[in-house]
Copies of this chain bind each other. A is one copy, B any other.
């Protein structure tokens, strides 16, 4: 669990750099050697290798050396893990919106009821409209 959290740290930190995001995007399209990956960047190779290394540490990328060429591929589990984090937050957020809306509805109802009781007998219990989007 704590380990998983620090994994999230590493994944987000890895993705905070545009070079590394570009590498991930490239690898989504298929595996590639370090040289192929590095080619579009102006950076010196050792600098570039650091990025690859960060991606490996984060679990986003795996690599394997065969002969003198190191081939990198995406290992999407870490990516999915991070995506899950967002979905979880969104679920909580949306549940809260729902609760908030329910609360507003309850207030409306109570106010209507108060009006009713003061005005004595008049039935206007208008149904609340359904969710109006994500805001």
A28 CB contact (under 8 Å) in B12, B15, B17, B93: B93
**Chain B residues, Cβ within 8 Å of A93:** 28, 74, 76, 79
Are A9 and B13 in touch, CB under 8 angstroms? no
Are B87 and A83 in touch, CB under 8 angstroms? yes
Q: Which of A18-26, A35-43, A44-52 is the contact stretch?
A: A18-26
Are A29 and B92 in touch, CB under 8 angstroms? yes
**Chain B residues, Cβ within 8 Å of A87:** 83
Are A92 and B28 in touch, CB under 8 angstroms? yes
Number of A residues with CB within 8 Å of any CB on chain B: 31
One complex includes copies of this chain to the number of 2
Please give 14 more A-B residue pairs, beta carbons under 8 A apart, in addition to A8-B18, A79-B89: A5-B18, A9-B17, A12-B12, A12-B13, A16-B16, A24-B89, A25-B89, A25-B92, A28-B92, A28-B96, A76-B90, A79-B90, A82-B86, A83-B83
Chain A residues within CB distance 8 Å of chain B: 5-6, 8-10, 12-13, 15-18, 21, 24-25, 28-30, 74, 76, 79-80, 82-83, 85-87, 89-90, 92-93, 96
